[in-house]
Amino acid sequence: MEKLISGIHQFRKQYWSDNRDLFQKLARQGQSPSELFITCCDSRVDPTVFTQRQPGDLFVYRNIGNFVPPYRDGRLDGTGVGAAIEYAVDHLRVRDIIVCGHSDCGAMNALYRDRKAFAESPHITEWLKYGDGTLAVVADNYPGKSKEERLAITSEENVLVQMENLRTYPVVQRAAREGRLFVHAWFFEIGEGNVYGYSPEKGQYELLHLGEE
């Protein structure tokens, strides 16, 4: 806790002072982010850091495993995600939605564990059901992989499954039809700091920072 308080002092002294105009403009004019960024709660995955954006730039929604429950599947779990999607697309008028997974994701690992391990954690048990579609895709398409390979593949495939779920939202379908919304599947590799984007044309993830020194 002390680290947070000393961090606030440091923030006030340096970052806020250096960006006072930006903060005051944001306070006056409100937010106008251009992207909705959906990613995992993992403490190592901070989209504002790895995209080097500023406060006011990204509308961020995080949950364990970066799941996007399908539109109104009857469970209340997805309400928070759905509200963020509807608000971002129709009220903030974001131009892009990025769903971003990451390496070494605890949620992807948990999908392969016996659910009895979470007997005392009913919300985790319930939430992990949103990974069932991903498990099925991996089991069908990547038999005979090692545990490590399977985990990496699961994280990458999970983003694509969640992208499909995202497309079940009427607000997303309508905005995409109007040509004012684009959706993207990304993947962040923690150790290397690499960020990949999925290319639907090529059917694979590609480095987004190709060609840099």
* Nearest approach, Cβ of residue 104 and Zn ion (Å): 8
Whole-number minimum distance, CB 158 to Zn ion, in Å? 9
CB of 23 to Zn ion, least distance (A): 30
How near is the Cβ of 198 to Zn ion at its closest, in Å?
17
Q: How many residues bind Zn ion (CB under 5 A)?
A: 4
Establish if 38 lies at the interface with Zn ion (CB under 5 A). Answer: no
Q: Should residue 156 be labelled a site residue for Zn ion when binding is judged by CB under 5 A? A: no
Window 188-207: contact mask with Zn ion (x via CB under 5 A): --------------------
Q: Which stretch binds Zn ion (CB under 5 A): 32-40, 126-134, 143-151, 166-174?
A: 32-40
Q: Does 105 bind Zn ion (CB under 5 A)?
A: yes
Work out whether 40 is an interface residue with Zn ion (CB under 5 A). Answer: yes
101 beta partners: 187
By CB under 5 A, residue 110 contacts Zn ion: no
Sole binder of Zn ion in the list 37, 38, 42, 157 (CB under 5 A): 42
The minimum distance between CB 167 and Zn ion, in angstroms, equals 22
Distances (CA, A) of 132 to 139, 156, 157, 183: 11, 14, 12, 22
Q: Which one of 15-23, 41-49, 68-76, 198-206 is the stretch in contact with Zn ion (CB under 5 A)?
A: 41-49
Specify whether the CB–CB gap between 104 and 70 falls below 8 A. no
**Interface residue list for Zn ion (CB under 5 A):** 40, 42, 105, 107
